[in-house]
Amino acid sequence: MHNALDTTQLSAKYETEMNANYKIPASLSTVMSEREFDPETYGWHWSVLPSDILIENGRGTYFNIQRSSGFCARNTIAVFIDGACPGNGQPWARGSWGVYFGSDSWLNDCDLLDNDEPQTSQRAELTAAIRALALIKALNGQHRNMRHFVIVSDSEYVVNGISDYIERWKYNGWKNSAGRNVANQDLWEELDYLCWHHEKNIGTVVFWRVDRDENEAADALARSALE
């Protein structure tokens, strides 16, 4: 199952649009991430679980976020993502990804990583995030009242990377804290571009790091692509 949405030109778009608009901060101490989900925004304690506050709509097409008041946040939905890579680190490894909107959603998607790219768990997780943003764009094209999105992931690598580290990487010319080239820069650029484009033209997108047992549906989708 795979909804064919074109992301092949994202790297070129990143170079032309991001480089023209992104301003390197005078000091990294002034950079405050706005891409990490904060449950307190909705009146909940920071330790609240997705299963406590995400409510699937009656059609099973997406999840609303319930405020502590009992009302659902307007124009806001949550999307679950995951990657899988049996044999990670081995020559025979095979990567896949899954994006889960709801139990009966036409937007649910999964697929294998392209054959010609490295088969790693990190690339599988990043690709899931990229696909989620592309699908969110498609959803917004049909329902423009959908503006705010929470991407739920059990990947610390993805959530910390896009909500924190990426600003340092860009500031340092895509070098990590050890002075080495950032791994998977091509995918980080695509994800950063899609987030930036969403923030500029649609609304907000934030990432929520959760435990694996809170992300089983997306995990099942990612693994189904391997069957």
| Residue-level pLDDT at 7 | 43
Please report which confidence band the pLDDT of residue 4 belongs to, taking 50, 70 and 90 as the band edges: very low
pTM of the full structure: 0.88
In a domain, 121, yes or no: yes
Query: Which segments within the chain are labelled E, that is strand?
Result: 54-56, 63-66, 72-84, 96-100, 109-112, 148-153, 204-209
CA–CA distance, 110 with 179 (Å, rounded to integer): 35
In a domain, 140, yes or no: yes
In a domain, 130, yes or no: yes
Residue 205 domain boundaries: 32-224
In a domain, 22, yes or no: no
Instruction: Express each pLDDT in 65-121 by its tens digit.
Output: 999 999 999 999 999 999 999 999 999 999 999 999 999 999 999 999 999 999 999
In a domain, 16, yes or no: no
Instruction: Express each pLDDT in 40-77 by its tens digit.
Output: 999 999 999 999 999 999 999 999 999 999 999 999 99
Q: What is the token pair recorded at 226?
A: 């391997």
Give the total number of structural domains in the chain: 1
Instruction: Express each pLDDT in 25-40 by its tens digit.
Output: 444 443 446 899 999 9
